[in-house]
Chains A and B, each alone.
Chain A
Amino acid sequence: DIVMTQSPESLAVSLGDRASITCKSSQTILHSPNNRDFLAWYQKKPRQPPKLLVYWATMRASGVPDRFRGSGSGTDFTLTITSLQPEDVAVYYCQQYYRHPLTFGGGTKVEIK
Chain B
Amino acid sequence: QVRLVESGGGVVQPGRSLRLSCAASGFNFGKYGMYWVRQAPGKGLEWLALISYDESNEYYGESVKGRFSISRDNSKNMVYLQMNSLRADDTAVYYCVKGVEEVVDINYFDDWGQGTLVSVSS
A: residues with CB less than 8 A from B are 1, 38, 40, 42, 44, 49-50, 52, 55, 61, 91, 93, 95, 97-107
Contacts and interface: CB of A to CB of B under 8 A. Distances in A.
Interface of A is mostly: loop
B59 A101 contact: yes
**Size range of the chain B interface in the assembly:** 20 to 34
Contacts of A49: 95, 112-115
A40 B108 contact: yes
A44 B106 contact: no
A101 B108 contact: no
A62 B61 CA distance: 29
B45 A107 contact: yes
Interface of B is mostly: strand
Contacts of B45: 42, 44, 50, 93, 95, 104, 107
Interface of B: 35, 37, 39, 44-47, 50, 59-62, 95, 100, 105-110, 112-115
B93 to A, nearest CB: 9
A102 B100 CA distance: 14
A31 to B, nearest CB: 11
A44 B115 CA distance: 13
A99 B62 CA distance: 14
B59 A105 contact: no
23 contacts: A40-B108, A40-B109, A42-B109, A49-B113, A50-B109, A50-B112, A52-B108, A52-B109, A55-B100, A91-B44, A95-B45, A98-B106, A100-B106, A101-B47, A101-B60, A101-B61, A101-B62, A102-B47, A102-B50, A102-B106, A104-B44, A104-B45, A106-B44
